[in-house]
Amino acid sequence: MNLDQQFLNNSLRSYIVVGAVFIVAFIVKRFISRFFASLIYTWIDKKNHSDLRKNHVRRLIIPIEQFLIYMVAVVALYELNFPLDWNIHLYKLTLKVFVEAVVKLFFIILFIRVCLRTLEFVAIILEEKAKLTKDQTDDQLVLFFRDFFKVILYIVGFLLILHYVFNENIGNLVTSLSIVGAAVALSMRESLENIIASFIIFFDKPFTIGDLVKVNNFTGTIEKIGLRSTRIRTQDKTYISVPNKQMVDTIVDNISLRTQRKIELDLQLHVTTTASQLAAFSKYIQNETNQMKNVSNVLVYVSEAGKQYHVLHIECLVSMNLDFNEFIALKEKINVNAIQYANDHAIQFATSV
């Protein structure tokens, strides 16, 4: 057999070499792709749990295999000469130029696809690690940056296609996009402010998911911190969205970070209530409230004395371990004790005029 015999402007030897390269690449592609996927997983999760590793590594192997085979095919085929008889013109382009553009297009698409799969692969591992912690902020942070970098990769892929496939000068394009971007930024100033505020919330952490907060006269639990707004489930079980800019610029009372919660009550007693009755009433409420569980720093005193009514002020601190229903029940118990004592000792409450 004459290995130098020519077929379509290439020797038989060249075809054999290219075929051998394909065969070797097809054999080792699984080992190489598994090695890279395992390397990435080990870099992200140093504990290297075997069960998690098998489940996650499988997600990345196929895209890497496809990219490796295509890359080897491109490199190998570039060693062959393009047949002169095939070099026809298509819409002012030669077939050779057209084929090269298509090859570059698929190469960029596969490359961006591998990058996207790698990004998702890393995000899944980090998300599972984040679920092991009590803090839910890191869960939201993983999803936020996963979507953010996806957009960046799509933009990079678009610019690479314009430059290498369509031979466009991306420098001029980036300049034009910058001008357009500035105009869009001016028209979407409020949205951009909310996006910047979301970064401030993520890194400064004035509150996290699950915290009970009070903002703009609403009290509720943080359920989601988005790119534009924060979602709060109020104590009335309504679901409100507050722009992130307001969450940063206004005063936010993070109730979950309090060491204790305060109960304040004002009892308006009839002006016929005597001083001795007021003193005895105050002492009774002080003693009864001090004996209640999870209550501390009880303070009871006559805060106002006037022509219409006397005011007996009750103030105490309770543990933050109490949920909202227990807090309301404790407040109700103090009120009921006060009413019971007033009824037993013929003390009248003030009536509205």
Indicate which CATH number applies to the domain containing 214. Answer: 2.30.30.60
pLDDT at res. 188: 59
Distance CA 69, CA 109 (A): 14
| Contact (Cβ atoms closer than 8 angstroms) between residue 29 and residue 69 | yes
Q: Which of 138, 159, 186 is the last residue of a domain?
A: 186
Residues 161 and 75 in one domain: yes
SS (H, E, C) 118-147: HHHHHHHHHHHHHHCCCCCHHHHHHHHHHH
* Within a domain: 34: yes
The closest of 28, 39, 36 to 63, measured between CA atoms, is 36
For the stretch 166-195, pLDDT in tens is: 877 776 666 666 655 555 555 556 777 887
- The alpha carbon of residue 313 and the mean position of all alpha carbons in its chain are separated, in whole angstroms, by 45
pLDDT band of residue 333 (cuts 50, 70, 90) is: very high
User: For residue 307, is pLDDT > 70?
Assistant: yes
Residues 226 and 290 in one domain: no
Residues 124 and 170 in one domain: yes
* Within a domain: 332: yes
For the stretch 113-158, pLDDT in tens is: 888 888 887 787 777 777 777 666 666 777 777 877 888 888 888 8
Residues 250 and 268 in one domain: no
pLDDT at res. 266: 92
Pairing of strands 295-305, 309-319: antiparallel
* Within a domain: 305: yes
For the stretch 53-75, pLDDT in tens is: 566 666 777 787 878 877 877 77
For the stretch 316-327, pLDDT in tens is: 999 878 887 888
User: For residue 34, is pLDDT > 90?
Assistant: no
pLDDT at res. 343: 92
* Within a domain: 193: no
92: left (phi over 0), alpha (psi -120 to 50) or beta: left
Residues 238 and 160 in one domain: no
Please give the residue range of the domain that contains residue 246: 200-256
Share of the chain above pLDDT 90, in %: 18
* Within a domain: 211: yes
Residues 216 and 93 in one domain: no
Rounded average pLDDT over 103-112: 87
Q: How many CB atoms lie within 10 A of CB 92?
A: 6
For the stretch 219-259, pLDDT in tens is: 899 988 877 888 999 888 899 999 998 898 888 988 888 88
pLDDT at res. 288: 92
Amino acid at 332: E
User: For residue 42, is pLDDT > 90?
Assistant: no
Number of domains in the chain: 3
Residues 107 and 40 in one domain: yes
Return the CATH number at 322: 3.30.70.100
* Within a domain: 195: no
- The structure tokens listed for 77 are 């085929």
Which neighbouring-strand residues pair with 267? 312
Residues 317 and 231 in one domain: no
* Within a domain: 128: yes
Q: Which of 231, 256, 281 is the last residue of a domain?
A: 256
Amino acid at 175: T
Residues 207 and 153 in one domain: no
* Within a domain: 350: no
Residues 22 and 11 in one domain: yes
Residues 293 and 155 in one domain: no
Residues 152 and 281 in one domain: no
Distance CA 309, CA 319 (A): 32
Mean pLDDT of the chain: 80
Q: Which of 153, 186, 219 is the last residue of a domain?
A: 186
For the stretch 263-298, pLDDT in tens is: 899 999 999 999 999 999 999 999 999 999 889 899
